[in-house]
Copies of this chain bind each other. A is one copy, B any other.
């Protein structure tokens, strides 16, 4: 018995999220099926975290126990040949038996992308929220930084969250603006990539943060309203849940294991 750990990228557009659902058609289902056809075992894989339907991943991590003798570095190509084209395993390594993708994870990073140029990007429309109307980007960035810290994030969690404890630590927030497609003398505002790193995230947390930031950008809230929203511990204090397609799980960090997948 060995413990194999892998990284996987996926375009979540066609899937009901990462984790197995009664309806099927999840990334986990496809991975388990590919592993089963490769080695004839019925593995149960453990993902570092769920992603919602439509959410993408670059460097999602999963692990599973196997008796297969296939060397770790042979697995990615072998699995990719058995997976749909929108799921690509990009790395595999042997890890200690006690390693668990979710429980061992120290930090996770997500990226949310708003295309604030006047026209949608036809090639990346499946992973951007298009918001051509004017946004106060500076206010959004200021509001974003108010999320850094250890708080009870009940206001920013789905009402259906089943977690007992809603205290999480956001370690870093960072806005990167890509002006490469911005045309001079237009109302183009760039492509806004919001990166957020934390020790864990509640259900819909990043999407509710983003829905709230968009309201800040639209002038509906001041940036310094964020601490009060957090303190309210009430979902109705925060903004709406932003659309899932613009969200990408951007990597998982462990203490002892280094994934060079990007």
A residues with CB within 8 A of B: 9-11, 56, 76, 80, 85-90, 119-120, 122-127, 181, 183-184, 260-262
Contact = CB atoms under 8 A, between A and B. Distances in A.
A119 B87 contact: no
A183 B9 CA distance: 14
Closest 3 A/B residue pairs (Cβ): A11-B122, A9-B122, A90-B119
A56 B87 CA distance: 23
Given A85-B125, A86-B122, A88-B120, 7 more contacts: A76-B119, A80-B120, A85-B122, A89-B119, A90-B119, A181-B262, A183-B260
B80 A10 contact: no
Nearest to A84: B122
A58 to B, nearest CB: 8
A129 B124 CA distance: 17
Nearest to A7: B119
Contacts of A124: 123
A260 B260 CA distance: 38
Contacts of A76: 119
B88 A122 contact: yes
Contacts of A260: 183-184
A262 to B, nearest CB: 7
A153 to B, nearest CB: 29
A79 B88 CA distance: 36
Contacts of A88: 119-120, 122
7 contacts: A56-B122, A76-B119, A80-B120, A88-B122, A89-B119, A181-B262, A184-B260
A261 B123 contact: no
A122 B127 CA distance: 11
Nearest to A126: B123
Contacts of A126: 123
Contacts of A120: 80, 85, 88
A133 to B, nearest CB: 11
Contacts of A87: 122
Contacts of A119: 9, 76, 80, 88-90
B86 A125 contact: yes
